[in-house]
C-alpha cells in the first residue's frame, strides 16, 4: 500500500497553486510600490534592475500558475 491517494495529490497541488498565487501577489505589491516611487528624471540603475527582476519573477510565476 505505497500508492498515493488521489485526493492527497490534488490537495498538494492546490496548496502549491495557492502558494504561487501568494508569491505572485507579493511581487505585484513590490512592483506597484517601486512604480509609485519611480522618479520622473534620473532613475537610478538600481531601481531599473529591481524593476526588471520583479517583472521577470512576475512573468515566471504567471507561467507556473497558468501553464500554456
Instruction: Give the pLDDT of residue 1.
Output: 45
Q: Which residues contact 38 (CB under 8 A, 6 or more apart)?
A: 47, 51
**This prediction's pTM:** 0.80
Other CB atoms within a 10 A radius of the CB of residue 61 amount to 19
Closest CA to 38 of 28, 29, 48: 48
Mean pLDDT of the region 5-9: 66
Stronger pLDDT, 44 or 4, i.e. the higher one: 44
Mean pLDDT of the region 39-45: 94
Range in 11-15, 37-41, 61-65 the model is least confident about: 11-15
Contact status, residue 51 vs residue 37, Cβ threshold 8 Å: no
Mean pLDDT of the region 7-31: 89
Amino acid at each position: 500500500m505505497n500508492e498515493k491517494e488521489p485526493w492527497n495529490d490534488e490537495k498538494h497541488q492546490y496548496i502549491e497553486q495557492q502558494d504561487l498565487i501568494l508569491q505572485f501577489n507579493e511581487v505585484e505589491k513590490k512592483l506597484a510600490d517601486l512604480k509609485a516611487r519611480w522618479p520622473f528624471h534620473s532613475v537610478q540603475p538600481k531601481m531599473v534592475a529591481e524593476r526588471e527582476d520583479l517583472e521577470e519573477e512576475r512573468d515566471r510565476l504567471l507561467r507556473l500558475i497558468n501553464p500554456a
